[in-house]
A and B are shown apart, each in its own frame.
Chain A
Amino acid sequence: MSLTSKSATELAALQKTGQVSAVEVTRAFLDQIQQHDSRIKAFLEVDEAGALESAGEVDRQRQAGQPLGPLAGIPIAIKDNLCVKGWKASCASKMLASFRPPYDAHVITQLRNAGAVFVGRANMDEFAMGSSTETSAFQLTANPWKAGYTPGGSSGGSAAAVAARMAPLSLGSDTGGSVRQPASFCGIVGLKPSYGRISRYGLIAFASSLDQIGTLGTNVTDTALLLQAIAGHDARDSTSVDTAVPDILSNLEQPLQGLKIGIVPEHFGDGLQTDVAQAIQTALDVYRSLGATVSEISLPHSRYGVAAYYVIAPSEASSNLARYDGIHYGHRSEKYQGLVDLYETSRGEGFGDEVKRRIMIGTYALSSGYYDAYYVKALKVRRKIANDFTDAFRSVDIIVTPTAPATAFPLQEEQKSPIKRYMSDLYTTTANLAGLPGISIPCGLGQDGLPIGMQLLAPAFEEDRLLRAARMYERETTPLPSPLG
């Protein structure tokens, strides 16, 4: 069995017992990138020299008998909206094409301390706005399962890299489903932790009240390993919550006795691909066979989630992206007349269509005369959505939904209306609006041979419960085969 087919947990154990070195592991994944990424294009840049140097350092420390972190010698791909000192962080935008952050994101510092090896910058939708990675200004990423199909988005590069075993783990970010949906499309595990669980310091902001850094990996145990390394309070992000992080890994194999699962009947209605619905029902049967009960619950305002999301996220984005002014950093137009024209032309040239569209919606929703009708209204609906979850979690432990209404769609499909694209976020946006943790785990293949994902949701800061529930299912089922055969 090749090194690249092993999980992060297995690779860490092999290194610990001296059966393989960090440099050997890193080389194996770099070779895999070399072999497959010209076709998949998950990476915007691969830092071969940096990765081998970090791996060499881990090996030296191990030989010297120094204590090593839990991710020592484990290669990780990083979504290109996370700041890594010495690398570019472009957000897959022309605006930041040559931007080099002067500091590490908090999660990067945590991973350095844990001994992780950063292999490269993963492609994404521009500024994380999109669900197919096609809004990237630089390249189209392919789904490793099927040429010409999207890996999903916006963390499509991060998901494709893991699915094609070009890295055992990766980091993404999830504002409305951007970790869970690509995980679903690529047949891997994607976790969006609770809002506030992980510091956003050094995550380039899209919509600050919804953004959360998430993990992608091939199984639940690796997910727990990575989450444990990056979770926790950080004074540099005042929204990171100062509560203790439970020891998720040590409880993971303990099944939840008498697990109560809620499902929402409307989630299984029109617009859901038949084989996706079937796969979720089959997965629910697996839970039943483990002693779980499944009951119908109501989330009456969830159907307004996408509309609320497409007011709140663009509003926050229009404010966050105001910083790109062509002066402090980022693209500056070569031709302009005066200061205001410098702003307008630099931004007009630097941003792509989807980013411009969202800035326009957000600016409109926040503008004088419309602020109450759109922005405040959406924030009120948001509370109703959050309250529905609070009510639902009084009677159930977790909620199960499809992650996406369908399997991956073809790349460069005839341009659908923005609304149609936005509706693919149907099942995922509410977790961001309510601040809940959500995970997508693979639950089979569709008739098209593409993976199907099941989403589990838990109350805020109940990652422990969420991952244990996910692991219960995973343990009873056969993992998907490798997409590369």
Chain B
Amino acid sequence: MKLTLSDVQKVARLARLKLSEDELSKSVEQLGFILEFIDTLNDVDTDDVEPMAHTAELVNAFRADVPAPSLDRNDALANAPQTDGRYFLVPAILEGA
């Protein structure tokens, strides 16, 4: 399937990636090649095959529901670009806030 510029723009939006004009046009070509390559998977008959998301195929690893110490607030905030010492700070997202 042929990929268009608007397809790539849509994917970049979904991925929350700002790409330059140059990156976008390169992506059309490169993703196109990669998808064409991936299409070889269609040569494999996979009727009646269960998808394998995981090789361990474990089901529900439970643990006891007991409180335990978690990451200290200062440690959790230490790498944040912007905080007020108590919370992560983000730009206003509500109109008039």
Are these two chains actual partners, yes or no?
yes
Taking a contact as CB atoms closer than 8 A, the residue among A328, A356, A381, A419 that contacts B41 in the complex is A381
Q: Interface-forming stretch among A22-30, A107-115, A147-155, A340-348?
A: A340-348
CB distance from B94 to the nearest CB of A (A): 10
Instruction: Flag whether A195 is at the interface (Cβ < 8 A).
Output: yes
Contact partners of B50 in chain A: CB under 8 A:
380, 383
The answer to whether A304 touches B44, judged by C-beta atoms less than 8 angstroms apart, is: yes
| B-contact 0/1 string along A290-318, CB 8 Å cutoff | 00000000000100100110110000001
The answer to whether B56 touches A195, judged by C-beta atoms less than 8 angstroms apart, is: yes
Interface SS of chain A: helix
Instruction: Flag whether A204 is at the interface (Cβ < 8 A).
Output: no
The answer to whether B49 touches A383, judged by C-beta atoms less than 8 angstroms apart, is: yes
CB distance from A153 to the nearest CB of B (A): 19
Contact partners of A339 in chain B: CB under 8 A:
90-91, 93
With A307-B37, A329-B80 already in contact, the answer to whether A239 and B54 are too (CB < 8 A) is yes
Instruction: Flag whether B19 is at the interface (Cβ < 8 A).
Output: yes
Taking a contact as CB atoms closer than 8 A, the residue among A102, A326, A330 that contacts B76 in the complex is A102
Whole-angstrom distance between the alpha carbons of A374 and B34 in the complex? 12
Cβ-closest chain B residue relative to A329: B79
Whole-angstrom distance between the alpha carbons of A344 and B16 in the complex? 5
Interface size on A, residues (CB 8 A): 70
Cβ-closest chain B residue relative to A241: B56
Instruction: Flag whether A36 is at the interface (Cβ < 8 A).
Output: no
Whole-angstrom distance between the alpha carbons of A345 and B91 in the complex? 14
Contact partners of B49 in chain A: CB under 8 A:
380, 383-384
CB distance from A459 to the nearest CB of B (A): 12
With A357-B27, A359-B17 already in contact, the answer to whether A327 and B80 are too (CB < 8 A) is yes
The answer to whether A209 touches B18, judged by C-beta atoms less than 8 angstroms apart, is: no
With A348-B19, A363-B15, A381-B46 already in contact, the answer to whether A100 and B41 are too (CB < 8 A) is no
Chain B positions near chain A (C-beta within 8 angstroms): 7-8, 11-12, 14-20, 23, 27, 30-31, 33-35, 37-38, 40-44, 46, 49-56, 58, 61, 63, 71-72, 75-76, 78-82, 88, 90-91, 93
- Apart from A347-B15, A360-B31, A460-B55, what are 17 other A-B pairs with CB-CB below 8 Å? A100-B79, A239-B56, A304-B44, A307-B40, A310-B38, A332-B81, A339-B93, A342-B91, A347-B18, A357-B31, A359-B17, A360-B12, A361-B34, A380-B44, A381-B46, A384-B44, A419-B33
Provide a sorted-by-A list of 20 A–B residue pairs whose CB atoms are within 8 angstroms.
A100-B79, A102-B79, A103-B71, A196-B55, A304-B44, A326-B81, A331-B81, A340-B16, A342-B90, A344-B18, A351-B17, A356-B19, A357-B30, A360-B12, A361-B34, A376-B51, A377-B41, A380-B50, A380-B52, A418-B30
Chain A positions near chain B (C-beta within 8 angstroms): 98-100, 102-103, 195-196, 209, 235, 238-239, 241, 301, 304, 307-308, 310-311, 318, 322, 325-332, 336, 338-345, 347-349, 351, 353, 356-357, 359-361, 363-365, 367, 374, 376-384, 386, 417-419, 422, 433-435, 460
